[in-house]
Structure 1
């Protein structure tokens, strides 16, 4: 139907009214209305001086006065129209005005055309992409699909869609750098044909491409390609800048981000991204692991990149795993995930998720056997280490004279020197050592220092394949709250240096992978420490060889339950907690110690003989439950194990504890392990051992020790045996009181009113005492004896 200029104007007005109503209903958005942009080129009747036969750029030839072009005022189909004869191989028609093209905006160019006479050409919508400063945008498609005219007088409608994003249905994808275009058409084919062209229409059809223009911005609208090769970093950040509170949408595809990208908007991923290891994706509004998994499509990669962002973003202090289960196929080197950080000391938290080890050779322990020399005067060094280059930092060291939980803290390959986390007790000289590098799910040892790092409500499901956490060599207040460390192959948490300073472990469960093994066959350890001030509170541990090996001082071990028994009758038991160091200054209170012991040792002393200092001192053991069953009678709940002669107790409190053995008695609740040496009881000081209860324990130790002594025949020399009931079988070093119970009588039966003097440290073991009277007497007295002064 023919449309005059006036009719065309009425048509466009009606069209804008329809679009305006659609906007009110949230259907689409049109820049002509929202921003006042005029996309429509002028009608041909207004003059051909703005219509170019070239690209439409300034200075190009126009059709004004051209011999092959004329305005036809009254066409039966078009009203006013342009009649054009094809005289060039590609006959161009371009509007010379700059039609703006904004990111996120999609324009449809519509051409209505009919052949009049001569050769029948092909026609296509075309344009010229312009950038800032009038530059041409190269490398983009500037033509739409071609249509061949097949008859005369039939009106054919040809369209082409142009926009910034690579959307389905977009014919000309110009990216974010194109700011405007000169639009029109191309005629191709044989020359000589004459066509008539209706006024060209350019309309905004953005609403056809966006799911919800009011809430979402598509990265493709800002030039993202999503081919996995093109760097889409700038497009992501441009979309974020334009979002203005809306969500950024990443459609299907693989988007390579070659630079660090920081997004302040909420974001949805259908496609995935890839990035170099050292580049970061900082999602400040969607900072949680599920979003990173959606972004990277791989759980392990997502966890690494989210951790990288955690240590580099200032808008968040914690990473919420969203309850996700992350399958881990190999050790995660946490420092390698953040290559721009070698240390970190600002509080950060990972919470609420599960890490699950998947079987594979990546978890295999690496073992190295090397010769080295140890000098006790350089107590933390191994020198002249063969094969040192292959020995990993963090390896466990074993050998003659090497205590428990000795690790490679650092190494100097050029000097052939290894620095240890702690001294060796009896390894002077040259020998062969074994180095075993366990594999950890999360390995922080690549950081030189890591402080104030917390993990909350995380389950480390090691599945017997690996260990859980290896700490950095230095750092303070690493914390685990309400975490599960389940079935570690070798270790739960390993400290290879001072990264455990002030460590907090609260409300956690350590579940052994060796529950089915008998006690002597177990080798796994819940955790170890080297530094001071560790708080271990309200945790539960099952059937490790040791729950904790704790060097350092000033620890607080409160309210834990750990058990390490088996089904072997009269079987041995190992220590649940091993305290290493003579001056302990530790508190051990309100714990439930089940079928294991508390061991106190100095096995990290390079010169173990006592030659000064406090010796075994400052340990409080209070209000604990100690329980055992079917154990060997020599088993004890509290064991002191000296390395080197001359050591003594110099401040120890054992009060309010409940000692109970079921299905068989044990000899005593406490003892000295004399495998290397005994204690010097002659120097015992400040030992308080009282208020404890005993069931199924043959010897009820106490200090001060109250004895009832019956002397049936008159004597002036009463020898009193303590029956080894002083703690640890200690010596009698003092008498606080001697109180007769009833009359003392002379040999003739007369009542004697006498006071004795006491002689302590009597007998072969010096655990007896004598009461010396001025004359022979008999009777009953209560004697309060002390093992200390």
Structure 2
């Protein structure tokens, strides 16, 4: 690099022989005294060592010589000023290169070193060479490191020491020696060449910006040191950090050409700080849709409050992605669950609020709510400390009145709950290594289309993904693995849950979920749960199994298709309803369970795969399809696949409609079920009324509400052997359990019939 060549800069001052009117005995600024006509200065035309030169008598304590022209000082440029001097007579002085620093307004830049090292002349006629280097960066070998404020210099030299001596000075030489510091084959620029101090105190922001501007496609080097940046800095070129930066919390370092986690860790010298700073930029710079962790493992000992890291936004609706890395929880007290108990009151007239909450200020937003009549996965969505109220994610089904509640605030690797709303955030190819210390992800209170794909959530302490509001609307979970921290426990002793959903339209596809208490708890409707494999078994003989999927709304409009449902059940409740008794709303319906593999092993015969659990009376099923599934029990049969859990209430079997159960395969299941179901009845004694009992065959202990068909197989005969040609009529819902259809013939007869019955009506 040589600016005199590349940019045509004039660096060399004129020869003395051209006149002394441009040479000052002061600082070289306009109006200062010149050597033209001075009594102590003369031109020598033919010195044996120098040829033409200046002869100068030292008459001042510091005899100055300055060129009055402006020698440019450019960022990243280093100039060597050289003078050859010899003593002629009188006292022997000291000689040093000197210069005066000028700013863009023609003023003096004070506080800088403006002289080089002094050389003492020791003999008459002996030529001494003195030199000094002027530059913007404080590099080793630079005598005058000026930074980027000065833009020109009046260069020259000083004679110091005793007066009365006479010296001769050869023409001054100014050379661009930047290549001595920055080789031309290197494709970077150094921030220290532009005045960065790297002392952790001086604001080096201007130097960083100047270096980036000069890079022009090359990379920028931040050498060893600590560089304080007082405000936002954006690099348009790639940056390499050997040193680190320090910035105010609200300032952002934007690396547009190497926006990845390793670069931010290098920049800030700390994994967690670098991660937070990178997240802040991810939410503030539109040129990047994703933060690539570059396969980096990030060890953290505390939750990451993502909104606090971003700081300047509490809503965001542009797609952003965190990809390709591992976040690893390191053992720390920061992961401890906050537990509070408080008395509070609940009224069904205000179903999403607890009132009169004692010590409400102490209860964190995002806390799980536990108490009598509280359904699963209900969280504190917000609080009003002044009013003493808590807003809940879902209603409570049987908690009217005042009681003491327990609030548990789990700690998450990534906590988005500080946002009011967050749309379209994606986790891709990530592993959340919770290590039994932390939970995985807490979503924002509101938002659309959170997406997790090709990720692992490994050993979450309490929860994999938690939604405390409607931030799960349209949530997509694809090809992920959720691996429990409770795999060695009995199924009934587990408490961790892979995920929960409060809003509508989730798509849960192609995931593998291992030994949680529940795979998930779904409220809302419009869910598609397909091609997942979840298993919740243990090593117990005749063990207890818990629900894999829990649906907490009645009319769910949901499909559960092509899953491998292993050692767990589907439980369908209405526990998120403040008025759980059926009135005028839709009852249990809109659920399709097709093409799944159901298996179980080593369980008690009373295990069931499909459980309906109303928490209020009067409900019934209207719109349910369970077909094309394969049910298999291993190491012991189960009685049947379905049941109604009557802990709180039973179903109204007289109102069942649009229930389709058929085409299922049963292995190791004592009682098969179907609706409609066709059974064959043999009556060998002549009677006029045939009792056809469908008990056990109809789903959910349904009644025989409709006789769809009656077909005689072979002749129906009376006692004399004559064929009975008349058809019987049917009476439905007979018997103690109303599970019988009575066929009434005109006269006593015997024979075989195939009867098809339904436990529902079409409308």
TM bucket (normalised to shorter chain) is over 0.9
Pick the aligned partner of 1:243 from 187, 196, 215. 215
Rounded to whole Å, the distance in 1 between the matches of 2:734 and 2:300 is 65
The 5 Å alignment of 1:209-608 reads: 209-212=181-184, 215-608=187-580
Contact 1:452/1:479, CA 8 A, preserved across alignment: yes
Q: Does 1:64 align with 2:43?
A: no
Rounded to whole Å, the distance in 1 between the matches of 2:59 and 2:337 is 80
Contact 1:410/1:420, CA 8 A, preserved across alignment: yes
Pick the aligned partner of 1:201 from 173, 185, 190. 173
Helix, strand or coil at the partner of 1:635 = coil
Rounded to whole Å, the distance in 1 between the matches of 2:83 and 2:485 is 75
* CA offsets 1:2-44 (integer angstroms, 9 cap, x no match): xxxxxxxxxxxxxxxxxxxxxxxxxxx2111111111011111
Rounded to whole Å, the distance in 1 between the matches of 2:475 and 2:318 is 15
User: 2:686: which partner in 1?
Assistant: 714
Rounded to whole Å, the distance in 2 between the matches of 1:239 and 1:751 is 107
Once the 2 structures are TM-superposed, how far is the Cα of residue 48 of structure 1 from its aligned partner? 1.6
Rounded to whole Å, the distance in 2 between the matches of 1:691 and 1:615 is 25
Pick the aligned partner of 1:180 from 152, 170, 173. 152
Q: Does 1:124 align with 2:100?
A: no
Rounded to whole Å, the distance in 2 between the matches of 1:118 and 1:733 is 132
Rounded to whole Å, the distance in 1 between the matches of 2:389 and 2:166 is 91
* CA offsets 1:500-553 (integer angstroms, 9 cap, x no match): 000000000001111111112111100101000000000000000001111110
Once the 2 structures are TM-superposed, how far is the Cα of residue 296 of structure 1 from its aligned partner? 1.7
**Greater displacement, 273-282 / 95-104:** 273-282
Q: Does 1:45 align with 2:17?
A: yes
Rounded to whole Å, the distance in 1 between the matches of 2:719 and 2:199 is 112
Contact 1:526/1:548, CA 8 A, preserved across alignment: yes
Once the 2 structures are TM-superposed, how far is the Cα of residue 675 of structure 1 from its aligned partner? 1.1
Helix, strand or coil at the partner of 1:313 = coil
Helix, strand or coil at the partner of 1:303 = helix
Helix, strand or coil at the partner of 1:728 = helix
Helix, strand or coil at the partner of 2:403 = strand
CA RMSD of aligned residues (A): 1.2
Pick the aligned partner of 1:641 from 613, 621, 625. 613
Pick the aligned partner of 2:602 from 625, 630, 646. 630
User: 2:652: which partner in 1?
Assistant: 680
Rounded to whole Å, the distance in 2 between the matches of 1:248 and 1:536 is 45
Rounded to whole Å, the distance in 1 between the matches of 2:739 and 2:613 is 20
Once the 2 structures are TM-superposed, how far is the Cα of residue 214 of structure 1 from its aligned partner? 6.3
Rounded to whole Å, the distance in 2 between the matches of 1:195 and 1:742 is 140
Rounded to whole Å, the distance in 1 between the matches of 2:135 and 2:663 is 85
Structure 2: gaps spanning 5 or more residues: none
Pick the aligned partner of 1:773 from 708, 730, 745. 745
Once the 2 structures are TM-superposed, how far is the Cα of residue 477 of structure 1 from its aligned partner? 0.3
Rounded to whole Å, the distance in 2 between the matches of 1:490 and 1:654 is 32
* TM-score between both structures, scaled by the size of structure 1: 0.95
Rounded to whole Å, the distance in 2 between the matches of 1:66 and 1:241 is 46
Contact 1:658/1:692, CA 8 A, preserved across alignment: yes
Helix, strand or coil at the partner of 1:134 = coil
Distance 1:215 1:637, change over 3 A: same
User: 2:629: which partner in 1?
Assistant: 657
Rounded to whole Å, the distance in 1 between the matches of 2:47 and 2:657 is 120
Rounded to whole Å, the distance in 2 between the matches of 1:239 and 1:532 is 51
Structure 1: gaps spanning 5 or more residues: 1-28
**Greater displacement, 474-483 / 246-255:** 246-255
**Greater displacement, 135-144 / 207-216:** 207-216
* CA offsets 1:205-228 (integer angstroms, 9 cap, x no match): 010111446632222222222111
**Greater displacement, 312-321 / 507-516:** 312-321
Once the 2 structures are TM-superposed, how far is the Cα of residue 74 of structure 1 from its aligned partner? 2.4
Helix, strand or coil at the partner of 1:236 = helix
Pick the aligned partner of 1:784 from 734, 756, 759. 756
Structure 1's consecutive aligned runs of 4 or more residues displaced over 4 angstroms after TM superposition are none
Q: Does 1:669 align with 2:651?
A: no
User: 1:613: which partner in 2?
Assistant: 585
**Greater displacement, 723-732 / 501-510:** 723-732
User: 1:11: which partner in 2?
Assistant: none
Once the 2 structures are TM-superposed, how far is the Cα of residue 149 of structure 1 from its aligned partner? 2.6
Helix, strand or coil at the partner of 2:118 = strand
Once the 2 structures are TM-superposed, how far is the Cα of residue 353 of structure 1 from its aligned partner? 1.0
Helix, strand or coil at the partner of 2:267 = helix
Rounded to whole Å, the distance in 2 between the matches of 1:87 and 1:563 is 98
Once the 2 structures are TM-superposed, how far is the Cα of residue 116 of structure 1 from its aligned partner? 2.7
Rounded to whole Å, the distance in 2 between the matches of 1:148 and 1:370 is 85
Q: Does 1:159 align with 2:136?
A: no
Pick the aligned partner of 2:119 from 138, 147, 156. 147
Once the 2 structures are TM-superposed, how far is the Cα of residue 430 of structure 1 from its aligned partner? 0.7
**Greater displacement, 494-503 / 149-158:** 149-158
Rounded to whole Å, the distance in 2 between the matches of 1:576 and 1:657 is 16
Once the 2 structures are TM-superposed, how far is the Cα of residue 91 of structure 1 from its aligned partner? 1.7
Contact 1:207/1:213, CA 8 A, preserved across alignment: no
Contact 1:424/1:603, CA 8 A, preserved across alignment: yes
The 5 Å alignment of 1:8-47 reads: 29-47=1-19
Rounded to whole Å, the distance in 2 between the matches of 1:550 and 1:279 is 40
Helix, strand or coil at the partner of 1:307 = helix
Once the 2 structures are TM-superposed, how far is the Cα of residue 357 of structure 1 from its aligned partner? 1.0
Once the 2 structures are TM-superposed, how far is the Cα of residue 69 of structure 1 from its aligned partner? 2.0
Contact 1:266/1:286, CA 8 A, preserved across alignment: yes
- How many equivalent pairs are there? 761
**Greater displacement, 551-560 / 221-230:** 221-230
Once the 2 structures are TM-superposed, how far is the Cα of residue 638 of structure 1 from its aligned partner? 0.9
